[in-house]
Amino acid sequence: MTISRRRFLESSAELGAVSVLAGAPAMAAAGGEARFFVIGDWGRDGKHHQRAVAGAMAAAAVAADPAFIVSAGDNFYEAGVTGLSDPQWRTSFEDVYSQESLQRPWHVILGNHDYRGNVEAQLAYSKLSHRWEMPARYYTRKLAVPGGGAEIFYLDTSPFIRKYAGTVTNTAGQDKRAQLAWLERGLAASGARWKIVIGHHPLYTALGGHGHDQPDMIAAFEPVLRRHKVALYINGHDHSMQYVEMGGIAYVTTGAGSHTYQPGPASRAGYCSGDHGFLAVAVGAAAVRLDFIDARGKSVFGKTLGV
């Protein structure tokens, strides 16, 4: 079905997006829901269906009025950006996501391809852009939702992947222990009804097995997510759209913002597709609604997570 205003708003009133400060509510969910989109693995100068996905996301944003858009990393292929004057800022971001409905905050994290370039430039672009927000390599944002709210923890996952050590994916000098301690403290202190964690790399995928599940991520993060009853983990990296539940946690892959591959059937109970598209999330007090939207603007998979 085509993504519609009713699917996102249902019986709720219009929700107004406001600018987001670190740790501050992203929006006042007067109608009972807070909505945002997630797109991953997109920066290809508008090619490989990137513009088509951008168009579908822009149309969906008119209907849903998301508070913000999340970039799940690999923002620029193949090797990040060289600096603030890199033409990819225009050719892969500003000129592709140019629609009025996409002129809202973008919460950005880093992917492994971004680590092949100038990471500091991606951080610094936050000071030049009215929508690009990457205040640090990892950070939090809150959503005001009646009944307890939600909190999103944005991770920097590339330093946890051991095979990157000593390669062009330059994660040298990043303190993994400090990031894990930060996440542990933040989740423990959070009073949010919904705890959501977003990183570039997956833990578990619907495909499963070598090359899809990430053992380094599972070892580092799964105990923390389980200990603090995280409901939802969202990632990019795999150029596909996937959903699977493992150990009471929903794992969602949304890495289909441009180039994708046909992944084959899921080896676990879940969903797996090589369609181009993005993820729409609606957070309420009693449930979280997830929808994969393809480049035609169609909802190709939906799932509701209950308390």
Query: Read out DSSP for 92-131?
Result: IIITTS-SGGG-S-EEE---TTGGGS-HHHHHHGGGT-SS
Bond prior to 78 in cis (omega within 30° of 0): yes
Question: Catalytic one among 107, 200, 210, 237?
Answer: 210
Q: Give 154's strand partners.
A: 139, 198
Task: Report yes or no: 154 and 138 within 8 Å, Cβ to Cβ.
Answer: yes
Q: What sign results for the dihedral spanned by CA atoms 166, 168, 172, 178?
A: negative
Q: What is residue 298's DSSP assignment?
A: B
Decide if 210 is catalytic.
Answer: yes
Tell me which residue has tokens 């591959």. 261
3-class state of residue 306 by DSSP: strand
Host H or E run for residue 57: helix 50-64
Strands of 150-154's sheet in order across: 16-17, 25-28, 139-144, 150-154, 194-198, 232-235, 249-254, 241-246, 270-273
Task: Report yes or no: 108 and 133 within 8 Å, Cβ to Cβ.
Answer: yes
**Separation CA 194–CA 249 (nearest Å):** 12
- Cα 105 to chain centroid, rounded: 13
Residues known to be catalytic: 210
